[in-house]
Amino acid sequence: MDKKLIEFELFFAQYSIQGQKFTSDCNALTIKNDGQFPFTINSSLSIAPGSYFSMPGNQFEIDRTQYEVFFSAEDVSNGTQRCTVIRKLYKDTNRETAKFNSVYGHL
């Protein structure tokens, strides 16, 4: 069996605006709090300063979740809010889809 490496890229973005939204559209995602106060993702997940939320992905998975960032009043008034997002994306999704379909069939 011929094994091929699957290429991917990491994309980094920083968010600092209250209520800012982003869609993951990736295989794996990390959301890190680089600010001085906790912030909340989608009104349910609180991330402490210096902490992070990580969602690893399995091969052939793509997450399409939309996220919204809510900073604390202290962060906003001090201008210290900073959410860093790291996304892992496959370079050639068409190749990955074809490979998936050849192994698992069309779902």
Whether the pLDDT of residue 84 is over 90: the answer is yes
Q: What is the mean pLDDT of residues 16-28?
A: 90
Q: What is the overall mean pLDDT for the chain?
A: 84
Strands of the chain, DSSP E: 8-15, 21-23, 28-33, 39-41, 45-47, 52-55, 66-71, 83-90
Burial tier of 44 (Cβ tally within 10 Å: 0-12, 13-18, 19+): exposed
Reported pTM:
0.77
* List of domains in the chain: 8-93 (2.60.120.10)
Most confident option among 80-84, 85-89, 97-101? 85-89
